[in-house]
Amino acid sequence: MSEVWHSVCARDEVQAGAMLPIEIGDMHIAVYNVDDEYFATDNICTHGFALLTDGFLDGDSVECALHGGCFNIRTGKALCEPVDVDLRTFRTRLVDDRVEVCIDGA
Ligand code: FES
């Protein structure tokens, strides 16, 4: 399977404790900064159409603003009702102070 790294934002566009919505093609992806570690997941909740970046980031958990479902952003694991389907996660890396996200099979 091929993998493609996409440069998505400058490192300082996502401060510690913050998240940023980005789009790669027609994919909606959320980039998170947890204590200067960067993570990326699908940005659309698995329960309904809501952007997780409109919700709340608490440590390494994101809470959906629509119905309060929570996910671990490191693993994508669904943590609490009403969500029961995990989020897709993506690898990230820093290159020259830019955040890159890896999309498999792109
Ligand atoms: Fe996210 Fe319902 S749409 S918890």
Neighbouring residues of 45: CB distance < 8 A, sequence distance ≥ 6: 51, 52, 64, 66, 69, 83
pTM of the predicted model as reported, rounded to 2 decimal places: 0.94
Q: Quickly name the fold that domain 3-104 has.
A: Rieske Iron-sulfur Protein (2.102.10)
* Cα–ligand 1 centroid distance for 61 (angstroms): 14
Q: What number is the ipTM of this complex? A: 0.99
Structure confidence by residue, pLDDT tens digits, 57-101: 999 999 999 999 999 999 999 999 999 999 999 999 999 999 999
39 pLDDT higher than 80: yes
Q: Do 46 and 82 form a contact (C-beta atoms < 8 A)?
A: no
Enumerate the domain spans of the chain. 3-104
- In which band, very low, low, confident or very high, does the pLDDT at 106 lie, cut at 50, 70 and 90? very low
- Residue whose CB lies within 8 A of the most ligand 1 atoms, among 61, 83, 86, for a mutation test: 83
